[in-house]
A and B are shown apart, each in its own frame.
Chain A
Amino acid sequence: MIGKWLDIGPVTQIEPGTARTLPVDGGEEIAVFRTMTGDCYALVNKCPHKQGPLSQGIVHGAVVTCPLHNWNISLKTGEALGDDKGCVPTIPLKVDAGRMFLLREAVMGHASGAKAA
């Protein structure tokens, strides 16, 4: 039996102000962000606009700017900020003893198989 949280490794793997990617077999790739102040967030790695890889955007505050068309996406809610409208799914993330954990069902929830079911 595996717990409901997936261990994805130590926080120190992500330089503050950047993100890293987590591919999910049969599901949506996830982007794991760490802000300059050290907070961690996870989003599906697709801008709600034209599916740009948010993991490659510039992170400022708790916001990432999509590298394709500069939409600003909130890391906390996944919502597009400013005049843009759209939302990308967020994945609950917790940090414990320096390691990051993602909520399993949320990771799976964006697996294409789960959607079809």
Chain B
Amino acid sequence: MNAPQNFDRGGRERLVVIGNGMAGCRAVEELLARDPEGFEITIFGAEPRVNYNRIMLSPVLAGEKQFEDIVINSAEWYADNGITLVSGDPVERIDRETQTVIAASGRSEPYDRLIVATGSDPFIIPVPGKDLPGVVTFRDLDDVEKMLAAADAGGPDGKAGRAVVIGGGLLGLEAAHGLSLRGMKVTVVHLMPTLMERQLDEAAGWLLKEELERRGQTILTGADTESILEADGHVAGIRLKDGREIPAELVVMAVGIRPSTTLAKLAGIEVERGIVVDDHMVTSDPAIMAVGECVQHRGTCYGLVAPLWDMCRSLADFLVNQPTGYAGSVTSTKLKVSGIDLFSAGDFSGSDGSEDIVMRDAARGVYKRVVVRDSRVIGAVLYGDTGDGSWYFDLLKKGEDISDIREALIFGQAFAMGGALADPNAAVAALSDDAEICGCNGVSKGQVVACIAGGAHSLDAVRSGCKASASCGSCTGLVESLLALTLGGDVKSGPKTMCKCTSFTHDDVRRLILEKELRAIPQVMQELHWTTPDGCASCRPALNYYLLCAWPGEYEDDQKSRFVNERLHANIQKDGTYSVVPRMWGGLTNPKELRAIADAAEKYGARTVKVTGGQRIDLFGIHKEDLPAIWADLNAAGMVSGHAYGKALRTVKTCVGSEWCRFGTQDSTGLGVKIEQATWGSWMPHKFKIAVSGCPRNCAEATIKDFGVICVDSGYELHVGGNGGIHLRGTDLLTKVETEEQAMEMCAAFIQFYREDAHYLERTASWIERVGIESVRLRLADPEEVRKLAARFRISQKYSQHDPWAERARGKRADLHAHIAQVRPLQMEPAQ
């Protein structure tokens, strides 16, 4: 494959290329296409083989292609073009003084022009055990061969071998797919919560995770590798920082790449993250150029193939004195895993003034998101149906104005460009009467139109009338178009949707969480066609509560979807400090507790100490970073969190009752303590207050509480739906019972009914006004219902009655309280 040694240069420039990879060879190809005679070319390659298509290594690993299939330039190509290929002999030094490169073998080659195309190196995370046999990267054919050997060897017990792939990015997932197809049991360990987070948003990442898990891979997200385990001098698995261990005979590190710049640095060429080049790919040394993953152009390093082609064109243009200049690339990505269609391009992280157009079709497993700014496409994520990826990418690159096709943009090219069909209503009008509108319930266009003509003049009326859009909701847009077409301007607006992210109401969302057994926020957002990638500050806390209420003990609370008060278990005040309220059961306290409260107030500089309306003591002015310490002190004195900050059971207010009061009829304080001990810790749609008064004088003000008990001679009057807030509301009498046990049971049943039925942020007062006190009385008049509701409440309480302060005082989630770092003037100004 070597060119004739006595090749006559004939005054040609000597061009040396370091790197026989995709960039180096492509640069040469581009140059030959422009000027086949102008250069005498030598290419150095570190790998002992001809140039091959590195991005096709995944199909080779997966067994879908052979190495021969991915060779780009055969030995003949080098010979035919008079190129000297020096393979398997990596260059070790560039001598810029003498314009010579020196290879490992000692071979030196003078140059007039030098192209550095050293590509990138896989990033190795510096954990113990990284150098063990059996730990491989995924970069070249040698790596693929090592992986194939491990797959063939099988596990220690003769069964299929086990592999851990560290890194859930493009490369890691392709490696995992290949190994999985080769019969290995594969676990993917990814640091971030979303797979391929650089290319995908949370929703698409979630779909991908589901699909890979369905295929038998284990996907661990948010998993940080601590070390690689060893047995008999070979890799035996990995250990995560949370202590989990995953046994494996093969560990693939695919966490990322970094530009390979050692050679350039040694030569004294300007290097930042990559080798710095100008728009003509020229480095700080005018005789030296660089292309590919090793370069940094206008601050960006690329790890994908498309920019590389653009760079090589600019470089070749410059070398033949027809400079065009490279202005950077917009990139797009596809995942090369058979059967999974995934496309991502441009900026989809949601920037200012950008709008998201989102389409979700849960039944087909399709998710599309196009990001638009100033009527131009700036990004797209497609999952499940990527047919229009290239069209969106084209719109993006050309920066075309899409105002005219915006309405139908998300439906794809065929639809959006269909002339008259650009109006979605027109498109729906063009459908035949028997065209299916709602796939879930098999409702045709004709049936929907008939339903509307029959008097259903709102989306909700159509939903209850003919069931179209009543299940998964993916056809909601179509039904709305039909309403608009059939009624003109007469469409009645439906009930209020939960927030701007969804067309569903709170009731729909709660119902569908149960019906469809949705168990995570991203899952709800996907299945119910959320129009934003990760919701908003209004729906996130609501969804978190609905899931918590629906699946007690099972759903994992999502801290980042909680309002700051609940996240920090203290009340934020206007100056950014917090207030803390320890629980005092039924309003009772003792000298020891009071002393501890006083000590804590002094120690942590509480500026105000206040008795609350709910008979508890509030300490104001505590700093975020001091919270765990003050909780530890209060815990030590036997006190737990009062949940005075939560959409939760707050306090049970009491009077002294029969023990001391000359009018008291029952032990109201004792009952208050019992009720508080049964109900504390419970999360609710809104804050929830209880009071127990010992007689109708009602000293505990039980008739303006969410649940109030008035003790009378013959038993207990139970009152509900009171509110001392902005809209003062007295309670309605729910019922009267004879024993404490009955009062407690009814209290539990009422709370659970409210927890399961109310909208998030709806106090019992407005809930009861919405559903009617009669319906509440009716439901709770059935002893069987009361028993079931109370039982569900008790189950839920099993999982919620733990003191959040104690957990934090022990150090759990310390990151929520501690600063990330501290900046002091000395650090910043060492010169002074």
Contacts and interface: CB of A to CB of B under 8 A. Distances in A.
B820 A38 contact: no
Interface in A9-55: 9, 12-18, 20-27, 30, 32, 35-39, 50-53
B33 interface: no
A13 B820 CA distance: 7
A76 B350 CA distance: 10
Interface in A70-93: 70, 72, 74, 76-77, 79, 81
Interface string B430-443: 00000000000000
29 contacts: A6-B823, A9-B821, A12-B191, A20-B818, A23-B819, A23-B822, A25-B825, A36-B193, A36-B534, A37-B198, A37-B349, A38-B192, A38-B194, A50-B574, A52-B572, A56-B567, A58-B537, A58-B563, A60-B534, A60-B536, A61-B532, A61-B534, A62-B349, A62-B351, A67-B564, A68-B572, A68-B574, A76-B352, A77-B352
A107 B560 contact: no
Contacts of B30: none
Contacts of A51: 576
A38 B198 contact: yes
Contacts of B535: 60
B536 A67 contact: no
Given A22-B821, A60-B537, A67-B563, A35 B349 contact: yes
A42 to B, nearest CB: 10
Contact of B825 (A26, A39, A70): A26
B830 interface: yes
Contacts of A18: 559-560, 816
A21 B820 contact: yes
Contacts of B830: 1-2
Nearest to B273: A96
Nearest to A64: B537
A20 B815 contact: yes
Interface in B517-555: 532-537, 540-541
Contacts of B398: none
B345 to A, nearest CB: 15
Contact of B820 (A9, A25, A53, A76): A9
A65 B567 CA distance: 14
Nearest to A111: B825
B568 A56 contact: yes
Contacts of B574: 50, 68
A62 B186 CA distance: 34
Nearest to A67: B564
Interface of A: 1-2, 6, 8-9, 12-18, 20-27, 30, 32, 35-39, 50-53, 56-63, 65, 67-68, 70, 72, 74, 76-77, 79, 81, 96-97, 104, 107-108, 111, 113
A68 B198 CA distance: 32
B245 to A, nearest CB: 20
Nearest to B200: A37
Given A8-B821, A9-B820, A16 B352 contact: no
Given A51-B576, A62-B351, A57 B537 contact: yes
A111 B485 CA distance: 60
Contacts of A26: 825
Interface string B790-830: 00000000000000000000000001101111111101101
Contact of B352 (A1, A2, A15, A74): A74
A12 B821 CA distance: 13
A34 B825 CA distance: 26
Interface in B226-271: 258
B828 A38 contact: no
A67 B533 CA distance: 21
Interface in B186-207: 191-194, 197-198, 201-202
A-B pairs with the 5 shortest C-beta distances? A65-B537, A61-B350, A20-B820, A56-B564, A17-B560
B352 A37 contact: no
A53 B823 contact: no
A14 B825 CA distance: 24
B137 interface: no
Contact of B576 (A25, A52, A58, A76): A52
Which of B560, B576, B816, B823 has the most chain A CB atoms inside 10 A of its CB?
B823
B310 interface: no
